[in-house]
Structure 1
Amino acid sequence: MTTATDLDLSIPGISCAACAGRVTRALNALPGVNGLGVDPVGRTAHLRLEGATLPQVQAALTQAGYPADLPVTRLSIAGMSCASCSGRIARVLNARPDIAAAQIDVTAGEALITHAEGLTPAALARIVTDLGYPARVADDGPTAGPVDEAPALRRAFLIAALLTLPVFVTEMGGHLFPAFHHWLHGMMPQRALWLGQMVLTLTVLAGPGRRFFATGLAALRRGAPEMNSLVALGAGAAFLFSSVVVLAPGLVPPASRQVWFEAAAVIVTLILLGRWLEARAKGQAGAAIRALVALAPDRATVLRDGRPVTLPVADLVPGDLIRLAPGERVALDGVLTEGRGAIDESMLTGEPLPVDKAPGDAVTGGTVNGASALTYRVTAIGADTVLSRIVALVRGAQAARLPVQDLVDRVTRIFVPGVMALAGATFLLWLTFGPDLAHAVVAAVSVLIIACPCAMGLAVPVSIMVGSGRAARLGILFRRGEALQALSQARIVAFDKTGTLTQGRPRVTAIHSPHLDHTILLRLTAAAEARSEHPLAHAILERAEGLDLPAAQDVVARPGQGLSARVEGRALLIGNLRALETAGVAVDADLAARAQDDAAQGATAVHVALDGRHVAALALSDPARPEAAPAIAALRAMGIDCVMLSGDQPATARAVGAGLGLTDIRGGLSPEDKLTAIRAMGAQSVFVGDGINDAPALAAAGTGIAIGTGTDIAIESADAVLMSGDPQGVARAIRLSRAVMRTIRQNLFWAFAYNVALIPVAMGALVPFGGPALSPMLGAGAMALSSVFVVANALRLRTAA
């Protein structure tokens, strides 16, 4: 019987009854949705899921153009040690109809869960805790960072080592030095010696090793064994067998009366050592997050009633005036109100040169003031600041699930039960064909201990964590972690022109208006363009600076063409020739010819129609970015084709593209034309753009990369963002992506090869051929080092690209 789940969704895109109707039709078409009600005033929808799921609902709404605004909760989860742990949590969460997506990051011990509003963060934490992995709602904002487990593991390892040392020396010392054996047994009877070893080993297992038994045995009871279960079974079997030999020797055949206390103690100690080293390495892998978090100051000097007061940053509110001393970090995002000076924004863009700031310019929390005393007004606090959003993006990328992870998940899901079955088979085979019971126990314990699902589980996420952290240091933010894999397969990169390959700060270099005064023309066009974000609009406004601009009404942006407006009662159309032709305006041949001449020199022509008559053509020149030509040369050196897709006139696009070394130059494209071109390039395409009209192409490309200086819509549609606006970041991102995937392949090969090669050795496959059996202690050491190897290999990505 299907369980019904009620949902209330916030759908911000609903603006009228027609929108509500489209949402209603989209959801009614989805099987398993009942009791639907859409409120166009509150922009919400209520529905009952009876077979449908939230991911299906969100997909239907997104396809209709009205995606729901779903809350995202971040949980800190303790006790995850391998992929089988994270896989179990992910399966349980993703199986719920009111959860859209659950990303589990085993390396950071965190989960990012997108869910319905009715499912509270506290309820999500309870669900995960009930699975045996204590969870709590994580702190958000720039002050929150990953928990460092290394100190606790170091302390546990040192205690275990001190307790294990006498057990190891008293048992193994006699094998190395017979004289020591005779001296020791002359001092005390063997049974007393074994009793001492038993007490010390029990202290190791119940103290520092308790974590393995508490988590592992609980997982066994739930029918979902994982890495800790293998350790608990292996060490526990060795200890229990040895305890029976000591306390009830009559139950064990005389030939099998051997103790393995040192194996049980050393197993736990070595695995704790491996976990400690692994935690230290993972701490280095998460250094990018901690470095970003450390950029946020704790206190700031605020002007209250005209007097400076030092307050905690947490107490600040938008509108507060903050004094910024020379060399001090900016506490929160704001707008400069007093003073001029340079600010180091390298943490944001990766660019080392400071940026000059004047009153009215934006400043970003975490950046560093130069030698000037400044004052700024706070505009954003908490999770709304740029620094907090960057931290959230990096966390999201680090928790991402790459397609390559599917193979690992399929293997790890059956790995631990498979190992337990092999251990059982090994015990029976050795008991049947081996010399005695003791050898059967030791072989089975060796199989349990040497198997390492941790290495497989860490192979992908730790590489993603280090790679995305390295990208953040280079000024590359991956909004979607999947782009890390997709970029490695890139074969063609398409660039927009304006603001991407050019500086995006064009200037009006010529005005052709034979029948209209230039001042009147600039007043009217600048009044309309004041409502636009396009770089060409800023150029016209800059040229009209000082003029009294009237208010514009009915401003409508026409992506890829221009805009229309009504100014002082007159109908104004500003854009390219296509805009005029679409509107039925007769093109003035002389103005078109002059614009063509300007375009041949690399200028962009903007045509103006007033009350249905073509009256002017403006020439705007936008110099190429100095980094553009080197960026294209670097991509070509990597074997990647480069294309320019521009909405600008073909002649202008050709003039700019040829100067950058491009041969495939396509101008005069509408957003639909760009979309068609990108789709034709396939899944191995990359599109780089920055404007509103680039958003469809950014979303459709195999990987969309937005210039960080562009519009919010473009950035929201992209898979990655270049914070500095430097197109050379595209080559760096691709090189980094290839390095991440190369490291993942190396780690997966090691993890699989290690287990395939050594599990049969632990079973005793070499013994019939005169080869050695594998000691449980050696197995524990090999298992611990396997995980450390995977993490250490991933750390090499910190210097990639």
Structure 2
Amino acid sequence: MPPITTHFNLPITGMTCASCAGRIERTLRAVPGVSKAIVNFATEQAHVEARADSMPALIHAVDKAGYSVMNERLELAIEGMTCASCSGRVERALAKVSGVRSVNVNFASERALVEMVGLPDPEVLIQAVNDAGYTAREITDRQTSDYRARIRGNSERTAMGFAIALAFPLLLPMLLEPFGIHWMLSPWVQASLATPVQFLIGARFYVAAWKALKARSGNMDLLIAVGTTASYGLSLYQWARTPEGGMPHLYFEASAVVIALILVGKYLENRAKRQTAGAIRALEALRPERATQVIDGVECDVAISALRLGDVVSVLPGERIPVDGEVTDGESHVDESLITGESMPVFKPFGAKVTGGAINGNGRLLIRTTAIGAESVLAKIIRLVEDAQGAKAPIQRLVDKVSAVFVPLVLVIALITLIVWLSLGASWETALINSVAVLVIACPCALGLATPTAIMAGTGVAARYGILIKDAEAVERAHNINAVVLDKTGTLTTGRPRIASVIAVNGDEQEVLALAGALQAGSEHPLARAVVEACRARAVGLAPLATSRILPGKGIEGSVGNRRLKFGSRRLLSPGMNIPAYVIKQAQVLESDGHTLSWLVDAGDRPKVLALFAFTDQIKAGAAVAIRKLQERNIECHLLTGDNVGSAKLVADALGIADFRAGALPADKSDTVRKLKKSRVVAMVGDGVNDAPALAAADLGIAMGSGTDVAMHTASITLMRGDIMLIPAALEISRKTYFKIRQNLFWAFIFNAIGIPLAASGLLSPVIAGAAMALSSVCVVGNALWLKTWKPGTAR
């Protein structure tokens, strides 16, 4: 039979000309199984006919050619999952859909994050989930999703209430017996109470079990359905064989009470799971739906979705800021605590940047919109938290493997229990009840909830205090960190340097300041901002900048008027360049005093130094305490900076850092991190573009949120404010979260390791087994929720 051929449409990014399209075509045609490949440069699409299983090879070929296949992400709400084996089955079903690159199904949040090539068709994914025996829908509005979850929760509560009301009379004789009261309901009454619990309220277990069997799999529902049906059937058998007028030994209470207890456990478990997702709901609540737009001095109330970049909005005292923007009029203190974790209001003068979701304090502000929708800071924070909570920690892979074989293994153990008891001469009644107890007490729910609930609780509470953990894997890596490499400027220091002195070779400070200011006007580098601020303070006019380019690790080069200039570190100085002796001597003095030095160079035909700039930057408050906390945990601290030796030594000595390296280029920083990784587990902390390679090279990258987007995208953890105390706090919450994961997994495994043998030995009745099983899941989720009590100040 010839292989099935299908048609793929791959959206390609990175093409700049028609030759790129040709190169991709040739690469795709070389892939085994490809019969046709046409790349359209205008639409940026590749149309490929190939074997149905060729998608991974096609993507790899495009990547190898130097381009990339565009991915889209879709979030689905999954209903009907009852244990970890269910989430694994949904994952496998979605992974088989053509075009799916990765799938993460989170049993705790009941969400599936699907990454697909090109524009995904939600209906195809939903159908795949339905075919696997579950229900799926696309999440487009979280408020609607939460509303549906509440409706489902109310339905669960109602079913639980009826089950308890019907099962309690069956349990009552057992409760009264220790007090010497021997009372029993008639068989007809017992059957009347147990039947609706078993087949109406418990119908969900039969439906889910049947779907699992059709998918040639097993789940918790199968164990419950088999176990309770056996108890119910045994009761009917005992009743039928008892002579009229006799009182048979019935087990209706076992089937009904087990179902009621399991429903109680699932209800409490689901309530607790919703609490672990409270961080995202709290962030979503920060988004205002309306804003006051100002057009030609006239204010009008508009929907947030109607705003565009550059629009001006008015925010009165006490109102929530609707957009990311810049203050164009007014000044006020702004409460950003729910976004950055900063407890004190932050003063926002003219020109300051503000974040949507923050609360305006005591003054009216006019704000020009600089980011809307998915590009806003709040939207990015929510996306990061969702990604972290939806991702799987590496330790979860072991749990998934165990869960996949757990139910079949329990069925085998239950069958062995039945056979062994019968072989020992026990009655069918005793053997079957012990076998039922094995089925009831064994449940993979606790295993499936152990990791995701801890991840959701830990990342959620961290986000509340301004610590954004990008992925679950970062939590596992962070708890092993034993070395931290720290950048200086913007990390250990405030990142707001000021000019301490200017030494002009020709003696005209105003002129060299004007040239340096013109060259640095468009730069976001802290030293550039210091130069521009000095020009503004001294009312120095800036000439227009014709061209400019960054010199990585050195500085900046550009043309001001008819002069080509360079501004930056000592590396700009070429050998033999004429530098007055008094300037060299002054540079040595300033550097030994811990100043950062920058040189302004005329880069014409005969390069020469025009001026020397000396900058000073304050060490952040709390930096010494943060370093001491890290060292108390036996974490080595290393200082790595592109600044001069004198400045680096001053900061290192003040903070008690024994190992420091100055004058490091971006490549030097990443090389240093790689060398340290050979003997240590390394975290890199930085905030600038030049820190990005080192952040990527480290075992764990931590970006200061006051830094650049490049650094934050590269890092695994982002600190939303420049408080250096968040570094030990980030490692602490990661360590606590990982500890909770291990703790949960330990108790889940131990529970089954102890409970199943006890049930098989006849030491547990089905009722006690059902209560224990329900309690195990509630305990695991409750244990994870303890993380919500964590505060940065509790780090030790």
Query: Normalised by the size of structure 2, how large is the TM-score?
Result: 0.91
**What whole-Å deviation, never above 9, does each CA across 1:482-501 have from its counterpart, x for those lacking one?**
11110100010001111111
Partner in structure 1 of residue 595 of structure 2: 603
For residues 102 and 420 of structure 1, the distance between their equivalents in structure 2, rounded to whole angstroms, comes to: 29
Partner in structure 2 of residue 165 of structure 1: 168
Q: Does the alignment pair 1:786 with 2:780?
A: no
**What whole-Å deviation, never above 9, does each CA across 1:481-535 have from its counterpart, x for those lacking one?**
2111101000100011111111111112222221374333333332332232211
For residues 207 and 338 of structure 1, the distance between their equivalents in structure 2, rounded to whole angstroms, comes to: 65
Amino acid at match of 2:162: I
Match of 1:328 among 319, 334, 341: 319
Structure 1 counterpart SS, 2:118: coil
Q: Does the alignment pair 1:260 with 2:251?
A: yes
Does the 8 Å CA contact 1:585/1:614 hold for their aligned counterparts?
A: no
Gaps of 5+ in 2: none
The size of the alignment, in residue pairs, is 779
Partner in structure 1 of residue 403 of structure 2: 412
Does the 8 Å CA contact 2:69/2:117 hold for their aligned counterparts?
A: no
Does the 8 Å CA contact 1:698/1:717 hold for their aligned counterparts?
A: yes
State which drifts further: 522-531 or 701-710: 522-531
Does the 8 Å CA contact 2:324/2:376 hold for their aligned counterparts?
A: yes
Amino acid at match of 1:701: A
* 1:107, distance to aligned residue in structure 2 (A): 0.9
Does the 8 Å CA contact 2:6/2:52 hold for their aligned counterparts?
A: no
* 1:778, distance to aligned residue in structure 2 (A): 0.5
**What whole-Å deviation, never above 9, does each CA across 1:697-726 have from its counterpart, x for those lacking one?**
111110001110111111111111000111
For residues 640 and 584 of structure 2, the distance between their equivalents in structure 1, rounded to whole angstroms, comes to: 22
Match of 1:521 among 502, 508, 512: 512
Partner in structure 2 of residue 649 of structure 1: 644
For residues 103 and 26 of structure 1, the distance between their equivalents in structure 2, rounded to whole angstroms, comes to: 30
For residues 29 and 550 of structure 2, the distance between their equivalents in structure 1, rounded to whole angstroms, comes to: 33
Does the 8 Å CA contact 2:97/2:128 hold for their aligned counterparts?
A: no
Partner in structure 2 of residue 93 of structure 1: 94
* 1:656, distance to aligned residue in structure 2 (A): 2.2
For residues 143 and 627 of structure 1, the distance between their equivalents in structure 2, rounded to whole angstroms, comes to: 44
Structure 2 counterpart SS, 1:323: strand
**What whole-Å deviation, never above 9, does each CA across 1:659-706 have from its counterpart, x for those lacking one?**
222111101111111111111121710001111111111111100011
* 1:327, distance to aligned residue in structure 2 (A): 1.5
Amino acid at match of 2:89: R
Match of 2:742 among 722, 740, 745: 745
**What whole-Å deviation, never above 9, does each CA across 1:623-667 have from its counterpart, x for those lacking one?**
221122221111111110000111112222222222222111101
Q: Does the alignment pair 1:203 with 2:200?
A: no
State which drifts further: 753-762 or 315-324: 315-324
For residues 702 and 473 of structure 1, the distance between their equivalents in structure 2, rounded to whole angstroms, comes to: 24
For residues 685 and 47 of structure 1, the distance between their equivalents in structure 2, rounded to whole angstroms, comes to: 44
Partner in structure 1 of residue 393 of structure 2: 402
Partner in structure 2 of residue 556 of structure 1: 549
State which drifts further: 499-508 or 551-560: 551-560
1:21-100 matched pairs, under 5 angstroms: 35-38=36-39, 43=44, 45-47=46-48, 50=51, 66-96=67-97, 98-100=99-101
Does the 8 Å CA contact 1:5/1:97 hold for their aligned counterparts?
A: no
Does the 8 Å CA contact 1:142/1:391 hold for their aligned counterparts?
A: no
**What whole-Å deviation, never above 9, does each CA across 1:83-110 have from its counterpart, x for those lacking one?**
1111222233335562222111111111
Partner in structure 2 of residue 675 of structure 1: 670
Q: Structure 1 residues 666 and 391 mapped into 2: Cα distance closer, same or farther (>3 Å)?
A: same
**What whole-Å deviation, never above 9, does each CA across 1:177-214 have from its counterpart, x for those lacking one?**
77653xx67xxxxxxx3233223222113333222222
Does the 8 Å CA contact 1:705/1:719 hold for their aligned counterparts?
A: yes
Partner in structure 2 of residue 614 of structure 1: 608
Q: Structure 1 residues 666 and 398 mapped into 2: Cα distance closer, same or farther (>3 Å)?
A: same
For residues 432 and 344 of structure 1, the distance between their equivalents in structure 2, rounded to whole angstroms, comes to: 73
Partner in structure 2 of residue 190 of structure 1: none
Q: Does the alignment pair 1:577 with 2:574?
A: no
Partner in structure 2 of residue 588 of structure 1: 579
Partner in structure 2 of residue 115 of structure 1: 116
Q: Structure 1 residues 261 and 442 mapped into 2: Cα distance closer, same or farther (>3 Å)?
A: same
* 1:277, distance to aligned residue in structure 2 (A): 1.4
**What whole-Å deviation, never above 9, does each CA across 1:233-261 have from its counterpart, x for those lacking one?**
21122223323444x549x9x99964321
State which drifts further: 542-551 or 18-27: 18-27
Partner in structure 1 of residue 766 of structure 2: 776
Q: Does the alignment pair 1:505 with 2:502?
A: no
For residues 127 and 237 of structure 2, the distance between their equivalents in structure 1, rounded to whole angstroms, comes to: 40
Partner in structure 2 of residue 285 of structure 1: 276
Amino acid at match of 2:392: R
Match of 2:482 among 485, 491, 496: 491
Partner in structure 2 of residue 769 of structure 1: none
Q: Structure 1 residues 439 and 390 mapped into 2: Cα distance closer, same or farther (>3 Å)?
A: same
Structure 1 counterpart SS, 2:114: strand
For residues 213 and 523 of structure 1, the distance between their equivalents in structure 2, rounded to whole angstroms, comes to: 80
Q: Does the alignment pair 1:432 with 2:426?
A: no
For residues 356 and 688 of structure 1, the distance between their equivalents in structure 2, rounded to whole angstroms, comes to: 26
Does the 8 Å CA contact 2:567/2:598 hold for their aligned counterparts?
A: yes
* 1:42, distance to aligned residue in structure 2 (A): 5.0
Partner in structure 2 of residue 463 of structure 1: 454
For residues 691 and 734 of structure 1, the distance between their equivalents in structure 2, rounded to whole angstroms, comes to: 21
Q: Structure 1 residues 208 and 378 mapped into 2: Cα distance closer, same or farther (>3 Å)?
A: farther
Partner in structure 2 of residue 701 of structure 1: 698
For residues 712 and 477 of structure 2, the distance between their equivalents in structure 1, rounded to whole angstroms, comes to: 18
Q: Does the alignment pair 1:139 with 2:140?
A: yes
Does the 8 Å CA contact 1:7/1:118 hold for their aligned counterparts?
A: no
Structure 2 counterpart SS, 1:544: helix
Partner in structure 1 of residue 660 of structure 2: 665
Partner in structure 1 of residue 128 of structure 2: 127
Match of 1:482 among 473, 482, 486: 473
Q: Does the alignment pair 1:218 with 2:211?
A: yes
Amino acid at match of 2:190: Q
For residues 60 and 528 of structure 2, the distance between their equivalents in structure 1, rounded to whole angstroms, comes to: 36
Q: Structure 1 residues 414 and 550 mapped into 2: Cα distance closer, same or farther (>3 Å)?
A: same
Amino acid at match of 2:627: I
Does the 8 Å CA contact 1:55/1:101 hold for their aligned counterparts?
A: no
For residues 62 and 665 of structure 1, the distance between their equivalents in structure 2, rounded to whole angstroms, comes to: 39
Does the 8 Å CA contact 2:72/2:119 hold for their aligned counterparts?
A: no
Query: Normalised by the size of structure 1, how large is the TM-score?
Result: 0.90
Does the 8 Å CA contact 1:434/1:440 hold for their aligned counterparts?
A: no
Structure 1 counterpart SS, 2:108: coil
State which drifts further: 140-149 or 610-619: 140-149
State which drifts further: 777-786 or 439-448: 439-448
Does the 8 Å CA contact 1:303/1:322 hold for their aligned counterparts?
A: yes
Structure 1 counterpart SS, 2:613: strand
* 1:320, distance to aligned residue in structure 2 (A): 4.3
Gaps of 5+ in 1: 186-192, 765-771
Partner in structure 2 of residue 797 of structure 1: 787
For residues 26 and 597 of structure 2, the distance between their equivalents in structure 1, rounded to whole angstroms, comes to: 44
Structure 2 counterpart SS, 1:71: strand
Structure 1 counterpart SS, 2:479: helix
Structure 1 counterpart SS, 2:530: helix
Q: Structure 1 residues 34 and 420 mapped into 2: Cα distance closer, same or farther (>3 Å)?
A: same
Match of 2:155 among 149, 152, 160: 152
Partner in structure 2 of residue 189 of structure 1: none
Does the 8 Å CA contact 1:49/1:97 hold for their aligned counterparts?
A: no
**What whole-Å deviation, never above 9, does each CA across 1:345-397 have from its counterpart, x for those lacking one?**
11121111111112332221211111212232334333332212211111111
For residues 510 and 26 of structure 1, the distance between their equivalents in structure 2, rounded to whole angstroms, comes to: 58
**What whole-Å deviation, never above 9, does each CA across 1:422-456 have from its counterpart, x for those lacking one?**
11222222333343222222122111100021111
Q: Structure 1 residues 509 and 65 mapped into 2: Cα distance closer, same or farther (>3 Å)?
A: farther
Q: Aligned Cα RMSD in Å?
A: 3.0
Q: Structure 1 residues 634 and 97 mapped into 2: Cα distance closer, same or farther (>3 Å)?
A: farther
For residues 512 and 39 of structure 1, the distance between their equivalents in structure 2, rounded to whole angstroms, comes to: 58
